[in-house]
């Protein structure tokens, strides 16, 4: 049996205190509505009603375009010029849309009203609308609201806003109840099942938030210990801490090293000896390590540049540099949450150029000057950069694909090696 990989800080002390380039210019990032695509797949009896414009409807339909549902679980209530006659009209229209929807779809247990950018929507008080509609449909449906507006949120912040809105509705877990682990952040069902099995084998009682059914919301309180599964959940974390839950500091479960450290944080908190962790995870670790060695042959020594997009950039950069030998040219992220990344930053090579926020033209200049082997960026930048001869990886795929845990480590590496292989074929 191979020993559990010890988590060593970067030999040179890591990036914990490295100065960060902060930019506040024009951004090229999706808005938080995008989160609906993976959230509606996760909470299977919830419905997401975007209160927005035709642009919003177009965005979520095209982002979700590959998925065909007999009964989709998201829609857009279009509040446009016609509703400017008065806010009362817009509220009446919204109530009418919701009533018709809930009459047609008795399977809906939870309805999210998702705010957006248009000024007509900003004038609507969606929290009051949610309260009003919750009362009207009580006890069959709970109506909540959050903002996915591009003015307030980027790409993955929509999930943070959604989960933070859910926290006040979670049942109370008494302080004297035995400690329970809460894994926070949407994971693909397959990944959740793998982690649930591992925690069970470790003897750690674990729940997942969000759950697959709105009626199965986990209780939280001072006996809750949290492991974040996603790094973009700062507001949700604060809200859960406000309910007394305690975060277990850990890197994120990307790659063999990250997954091991993440599980080890839970083992330490629940008094599970490391030998047990070793025994439970040995086979999966060995498989993943062998598969990663094959990927390292393609990725080792390659230079990578991250544009800010998903907030996954720092954990991904850590995985790619430490387990696959890639060189980090620049790691941009929309928001660098030092608290959430406290166990990630020290694992980056010292001096890794970190950038928070964006001034897209300046960042494009730096990228062109550096000529990296691979650029991770949003869809809007990928095509122009490819046209300039660069090899790109769409950041959005990293959020839509199951990438956490041992069994997905090689798939995650392959997401980066595939565009390089494609480029080589094109050049041959
Ligand atoms: Fe709608 Fe604003 Fe997102 Fe555009 S940026 S799709 S208007 S919420």
Identify the three-state secondary structure at position 144.
Answer: strand
Would you state the pLDDT for residue 3?
40
pLDDT for residue 128 is more than 90: yes
Distance 103 CA to ligand 1 centre (A): 28
Confidence band for 8, pLDDT divided at 50, 70 and 90: low
Would you state the pLDDT for residue 90?
82
Ligand 1 atom at minimal distance to the Cα of residue 115 = 8
Cβ 29 vs Cβ 308: under 8 Å: yes
DSSP 277-341: HHHHHHHHHHHHHHHHHHHHHHHTT-EEEE-SSSS-HHHHHHHHHHHH--EEEEEEES---TTTT
For the whole model, what pTM was predicted?
Answer: 0.92
CA 303 – CA 160 distance, rounded (Å): 31
Confidence band for 330, pLDDT divided at 50, 70 and 90: very high
DSSP code of 233? -
Residue nearest to atom 6 of ligand 1 (CA): 56
Instruction: List pLDDT tens digits, range 83-126.
Output: 445 666 788 889 999 999 999 999 999 999 999 998 888 888 99
147 lines ligand 1 (CB under 6 A): no
53 lines ligand 1 (CB under 6 A): yes
Confidence band for 7, pLDDT divided at 50, 70 and 90: low
Instruction: List pLDDT tens digits, range 71-81.
Output: 678 888 887 65
Residue 238: half-sphere exposure toward Cβ, Cα within 13 Å: 9
Distance 395 CA to ligand 1 centre (A): 19
33 lines ligand 1 (CB under 6 A): yes
Least confident of 136-150, 361-375, 414-428: 414-428
Choose between 124 and 278: higher pLDDT. 278
Tokens, residue 110: 């939870």
Ligand 1 atom at minimal distance to the Cα of residue 118 = 7
Cis peptide before 210 (omega within 30 of 0): yes
DSSP code of 155? T
Contacts of 379 (CB under 8 A, 6+ apart): 30, 394, 396
Confidence band for 9, pLDDT divided at 50, 70 and 90: low
CA 113 – CA 129 distance, rounded (Å): 9
Angle between helices 406-427 and 274-299 (to 10 degrees): 0
Least confident of 8-17, 85-94, 122-131: 8-17
Least confident of 74-78, 82-86, 150-154, 166-170: 82-86
For strands 303-306 and 327-333, give the pairing: parallel
């Amino acid at each position: 049996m191979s020993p559990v990989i010890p988590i060593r800080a970067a030999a040179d002390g890591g990036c914990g205190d490295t100065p960060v380039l902060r930019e506040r210019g024009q951004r090229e990032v999706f808005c938080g509505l995008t989160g609906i695509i993976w959230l509606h797949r996760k909470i299977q009896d919830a419905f997401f009603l975007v209160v927005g414009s035709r642009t919003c409807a177009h965005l979520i339909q095209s982002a979700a375009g590959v998925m065909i549902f007999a009964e989709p679980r998201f829609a857009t209530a279009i509040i446009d010029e016609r509703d400017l006659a008065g806010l009362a009209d817009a509220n009446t229209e919204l109530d009418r849309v919701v009533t018709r929807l809930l009459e047609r779809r008795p399977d809906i247990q939870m309805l999210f009203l998702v705010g957006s950018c248009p000024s007509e929507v900003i004038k609507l008080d969606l929290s009051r609308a949610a309260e009003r509609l919750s009362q009207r449909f009580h006890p069959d449906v709970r109506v909540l609201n959050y903002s996915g507006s591009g003015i307030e949120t980027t790409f993955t912040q929509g999930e943070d806003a959604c989960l933070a809105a859910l926290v006040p509705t979670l049942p109370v877990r008494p302080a004297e109840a035995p400690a329970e682990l809460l894994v926070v952040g949407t994971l693909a069902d397959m990944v959740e099942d793998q982690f649930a099995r591992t925690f069970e084998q470790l003897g750690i009682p674990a729940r997942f938030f969000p759950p697959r059914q709105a009626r199965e919301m986990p209780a939280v309180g001072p006996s809750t210990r949290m492991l974040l599964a996603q790094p973009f959940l700062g507001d949700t974390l604060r809200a859960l801490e406000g309910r007394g839950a305690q975060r277990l500091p850990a890197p994120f479960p990307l790659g063999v090293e990250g997954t091991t450290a993440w599980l080890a944080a839970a083992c330490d908190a629940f008094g599970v000896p490391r030998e047990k962790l070793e025994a439970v995870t040995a086979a999966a670790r060995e498989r993943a390590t062998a598969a990663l060695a094959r990927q390292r042959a393609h990725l080792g020594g390659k230079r990578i540049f991250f544009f800010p997009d998903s907030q996954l950039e720092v954990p991904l950069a850590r995985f790619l540099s430490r387990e696959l030998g890639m060189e980090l040219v620049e790691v941009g992220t929309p928001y660098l949450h030092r608290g959430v990344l406290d166990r990630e930053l020290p694992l980056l090579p010292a001096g890794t150029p970190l950038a928070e926020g964006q001034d897209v033209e300046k960042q494009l200049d730096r990228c062109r000057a550096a000529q990296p082997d691979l650029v991770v960026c949003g869809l809007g930048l990928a095509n122009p950069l490819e046209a300039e001869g660069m090899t790109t990886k769409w950041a959005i795929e990293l959020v839509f694909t199951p990438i956490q845990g041992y069994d997905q480590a090689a798939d995650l590496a392959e997401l980066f090696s595939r565009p390089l292989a494609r480029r080589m074929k094109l050049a041959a």
